[in-house]
Amino acid sequence: MGDWTGALNLEVEDRKGKTVAKKVYFQGAFKVMRPIYHDESGQACYYLLNPGGGYLDGDRYQMKISLAEKAKLTLTTQSATKVYKTPNNFAYQEAEISLQPGSYLEYLPDPLIAYQNAKYKQKNVIRMDKTATFLYSDIVTPGWSPDGERFSYQTVQLLNEIYVDNELVVYDHIRLNPATQNMKGLGFMEGFSHLGSMIVVGKQTNSSLLDQLYSAIDMNSDDYKLGLSLLAVPGLIIRVLAHSTQVIEKLFSELHRMVSQEWFNTEPSFLRKY
């Protein structure tokens, strides 16, 4: 395992319309539950587990996910990712994801909670065939601090690289550093405390879908600010600023539902654990 605190390797394939594991390997403080099938579609759902309860100083996690042709997978977490005080070295997590022709991955982790003096870096690299489909979301939440300060963590850095047919098509880099940035200012959190992102890449994406998503959003709401735009390839990205996790989760749930109905004529499964 090298110097990884936890490592996971999951390979799945389609067998007669049902997605099953071809290879499952995990070691250290990173585990995966047995697959769950929420409906008759054959799409598998795996829950990621961190037995340690949170990320600590110097923790390093590696995840490799591979979907064979036509495999369909939902990947989520059992609970929020909690990053505690990291006085010496930042906590780090990386994911390498491979999507073969016609495959579909929903990667929907629970919120990331960064507590006082936390330093966290995350990198996701997705390599996908042009006929594959990828849906991803994340939510950054400030954790509790003794003085009640919302942005008491030191650094949160999230990097997403998406390659379609080996060409880099999405490079999304978020870096929040409250010590050097005016988190309440324009271009940062603008008075909000929670940040959500959703990225969708799939050949089915078009301006009609974008219009449908816009119609489901109250752009005049005081509870959140939202931006939505098409990517250079068939796909879209959504960014949300809000005052609570629940507001972002509700928005993402509705947008996820609309995408699933438009693309697959199905309803997404309910994944929350509480």
| pLDDT tens digits, one per residue of 73-103 | 999 998 899 999 999 999 999 999 999 999 9
Q: What's the confidence (pLDDT) of residue 70?
A: 97
Q: What's the confidence (pLDDT) of residue 207?
A: 82
247: pLDDT strictly greater than 80: yes
Interval 20-63: pLDDT, tens: 999 999 999 889 999 999 888 999 999 999 877 789 999 999 99
Q: What's the confidence (pLDDT) of residue 226?
A: 93
pLDDT category at 272 given cuts 50, 70, 90 is low
Give ∠ CA 64-249-137 in degrees, rounded to 5.
Answer: 25
Residue 214 lies in a domain: no
Residue 87 lies in a domain: yes
Residue 117 lies in a domain: yes
Interval 166-220: pLDDT, tens: 999 999 999 999 988 888 887 788 899 999 999 999 998 888 888 888 888 888 8
Q: What's the confidence (pLDDT) of residue 206?
A: 83
Residue 236 lies in a domain: no
Q: What's the confidence (pLDDT) of residue 162?
A: 98
Q: What's the confidence (pLDDT) of residue 149?
A: 77
127: pLDDT strictly greater than 80: yes
Residue 144 lies in a domain: yes
Q: Go through 111-135 and write b for each residue having 16 or more CB atoms within 10 A of its CB, e for each that does not.
A: bbbbbbbbbbbbebebbbbebbbbb
Mean pLDDT of 252-273: 80
Q: Using CA atoms, how far apart are residues 267 and 221, in angstroms rounded to an integer?
A: 26
Q: Using CA atoms, how far apart are residues 101 and 203, in angstroms rounded to an integer?
A: 12
Residue 201 lies in a domain: no
The reported pTM is 0.93
| Cα 237 from chain centre | 12
144: pLDDT strictly greater than 80: no
Q: How high does pLDDT run on average in the chain?
A: 91
Q: What's the confidence (pLDDT) of residue 1?
A: 45
| Structural domain range at position 25 | 6-190
273: pLDDT strictly greater than 70: no
Number of domains in the chain: 1
Residue 264 lies in a domain: no
Nearest to 141 by CA among 174, 165, 168, 115: 115
Give ∠ CA 47-131-269 in degrees, rounded to 5.
Answer: 30
Residue 200 lies in a domain: no
Tell me what percent of the residues of the chain surpass a pLDDT of 90. 70
Mean pLDDT of 253-268: 85
